[in-house]
Amino acid sequence: MAAALARLDAPLLFQETAEDGSVRQITAAPGDWGDVVLARKDAPASYHLAVVIDDAAQGVTEVVRGADLFRATDVQRLLQHLLGLPAPRYRHHRLILGPDGRKLSKSLASISLRALREDGATPAGIRRMVGL
C-alpha cells in the first residue's frame, strides 16, 4: 500500500501585526517545521487543519492570540493558501501571566473574560492587559 504523504516546501509571505501596531512581513518556511501531521487514523484532522477550515466557515477576519502560538501561524497560513481559504489578519500579544507567574489558560481554569467583566473590568482595561 502506498503511503499517503505530501511535503510542503514552498515558502509563503504573509503579514503580522506586531504589539506596537506596526505591520511586518513574515515568511512561512515549511522546511523549518519538520513533518506537520494534518490527519491520522485516530484523528480525522489536526488542530492546524481544523482551525483553518473552521475560521473560514465562520468568517473569522481577525485572529488575536498569545505569542506562544506565533509559530503555528506559519503552518495555518500556508494551509489557507493551499486550500484557497481567506486569510484573517493575525496579531500575537505577549503572554498574560497570573499571580503565580504561569500563563492564563483555559486548561488551567484561569480567569475568563466573562469573570473579568463581572468583576468590573472595562474593554479598555482588558485591551491594556493583553498589550493592545
Q: Does the structure show a pLDDT above 60 at 62? A: yes
Residue 17 has pLDDT above 90, yes or no: no
Catalytic annotation, residues: 106
Average pLDDT (25-53) is 81
**pLDDT band at residue 2, thresholds of 50, 70 and 90?**
very low
pTM: 0.69
Dihedral of the alpha carbons of 5, 49, 57, 105, in degrees to the nearest 10 = 180
Query: What is the per-residue pLDDT for 7?
Result: 56
Helices marked H in the chain: 47-57, 70-83, 113-118, 123-129
pLDDT 10s digits, 102-125:
888 888 888 888 888 899 999 998
Domains and CATH numbers, the chain: 10-28+43-94 (3.40.50.620), 97-132 (no CATH)
